[in-house]
């Protein structure tokens, strides 16, 4: 098990542009919402802080498509995981209420039917339980949002 945060005063050798881990400096002032990841705004702010990537662009695209962000439920006594689930209001959710999920570097799809639709798209990679797109890579935002658009359902009129 590894760490996802590194605390240091050495900004020269550990710049905030490092993407593999969240670099935190003790001298950085904490914001009023720091640590409150129980709300959509607090969770999104934490993702932006961790990722320093194109998260605002991805968020705007998902909202424009009609997706609605949601903070995932805590499981058992575990700490809340740091990501946002995105629901498609045009879907009837019977198993899992999120069409896709977004963390500081990745969009992923966990519904099997959606995975089949997006797994062969440019930028996709698969694991045993999901198909994902790295938003920080070149073309990553375009690939990820194209996949989100492909699985988006349209409201019945």
Task: For 94-114, write each residue's pLDDT tens digit.
Answer: 667 789 999 999 999 989 999
Domain that holds residue 128: 40-151
The pTM score is 0.74
> Does the pLDDT at position 49 exceed 80?
yes
pLDDT at 4: 58
Torsion of CA 53, 55, 57, 59, to 10 degrees: 180
Task: For 125-140, write each residue's pLDDT tens digit.
Answer: 998 889 999 999 999 9
pLDDT at 107: 96
Domain count, the chain: 2
CATH number, residue 96? 3.90.1150
Task: For 58-95, write each residue's pLDDT tens digit.
Answer: 999 999 999 999 998 877 777 778 899 999 988 877 66
| 19 and 93, same domain (yes or no) | no
| 60 and 127, same domain (yes or no) | yes
Residue 71's CB is within 10 A of a number of other CB atoms, namely 19
| 10 and 52, same domain (yes or no) | no
Query: What is the sign of the dihedral through the CA atoms of 135, 141, 143 and 147?
Result: positive
If you average pLDDT over residues 28-53, what whole number do you get?
Answer: 74
Mean pLDDT of the chain: 83
Residue 57 lies in a domain: yes
């Amino acid at each position: 098990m590894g760490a996802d945060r590194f605390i240091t005063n050495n900004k020269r050798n550990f710049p905030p542009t490092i993407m593999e881990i969240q670099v935190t400096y003790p001298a950085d002032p904490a914001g009023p919402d720091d640590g409150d990841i129980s709300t959509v705004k607090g969770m999104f702010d934490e993702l932006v802080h961790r990722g320093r990537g194109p998260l605002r662009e991805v968020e705007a695209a998902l909202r424009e498509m009609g997706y609605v962000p949601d903070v995932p439920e805590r499981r058992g006594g575990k700490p809340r995981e740091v990501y946002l689930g995105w629901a498609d209001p045009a879907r009837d959710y019977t198993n899992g209420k999120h069409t896709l999920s977004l963390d500081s570097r990745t969009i992923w799809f966990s519904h099997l039917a959606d995975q089949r639709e997006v797994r062969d798209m440019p930028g996709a990679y698969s694991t045993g339980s999901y198909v994902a797109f790295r938003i920080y890579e070149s073309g990553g935002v375009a690939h990820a949002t194209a996949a989100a658009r492909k699985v988006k359902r349209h409201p019945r009129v």
